[in-house]
Amino acid sequence: MTVEVPTYLDGNAAAGVLREIFAVDITAAIGRCAGCGQTGVFAETRVYLDAPGLVARCQGCDEVLLRVVTTPADTYLDLRGLTYLRVPNPA
């Protein structure tokens, strides 16, 4: 039996695609998982890229926090699993 290698990266891998949507960096923001209530820095979430779209999941409960699909015409952003994103204001 082969040892399974984790296929996820982390929230840092979503930085580029999210900066196409948001005017600020989201990876340093704090997010709250709508599934289990855990809060944490978005950079520490688990990001799956080998899929038809980008999926970020909660480190605590694996629930989907965010999805991004880029089609030729539009970008779809689904934030269903985030109760909030806390973004620091510029100093």
Partner 1 sequence: MGIVSPGFTGRRGAGSDLPPGQYLTHEFPVLSAGPTPHVRHEHWELTVANETGEVTRWDWKALTALPSEKITKDLHCVTRWSKLGTEWKGVSLDVLLADVETGADFVMVHSYGGYTTNLPLEDLLDGQAWIAYEYDGEPLHPEHGGPARLLVPHLYLWKSAKWVRGLVLSDSEDLGFWETAGYHEYGDPWKEQRYAGD
Partner 2 sequence: MERTAIRRRLTWQAGTVTEVRAETASARTVVLDVPDWPGHLAGQHLDVRLTAPDGYQASRSYSIASAWSGSGTGPGIGTTVELTVEQVPGGEVSPYLVDVIRPGDPLEVRGPVGGWFVWKPEQEGPIQLIGGGSGVVPLMAMLRAHAAAASTTPARLLYSVRRPEAVIYVSDLKELAASDDIEVTFAYTREAPPGEQRAPARIDAGLLASVTFQPEDAPTTYVCGPTPFVETVADLLVAAGHDPARIRTERFG
Kindly list the residues in this chain that would bind partner 1 in the complex (CB under 8 A).
4, 7-8, 48, 50-53, 55, 57, 62, 64, 67, 69, 71-74, 76, 78
Q: If binding is defined by CB under 8 A, does position 9 make contact with partner 2?
A: yes
What minimum distance in Å lies between the beta carbon of 38 and partner 2? Answer: 13
Q: Quote the distance between the C-alpha of residue 75 and its chain's center.
A: 15
- Residue 29 or 55: which CB sits closer to partner 1? 55
Q: Give whichever of 26 and 64 is closer to partner 2, judged by the CB atom.
A: 26
Q: How is 11-74 classified by DSSP, letter by letter?
A: GGGGHHHHHTT-SS-STTSEEEETTT--EEEGGGSEEE-SSSSEEEE-TTT--EEEEEEE-SS-
Instruction: For partner 1, give the closer residue by CB, 43 or 65.
Output: 65
Residue 35's binding partner out of partner 2, partner 1, none, with CB under 5 to 8 Å set by partner kind? none
Check if the beta carbon of residue 51 is closer than 8 Å to that of residue 34.
no
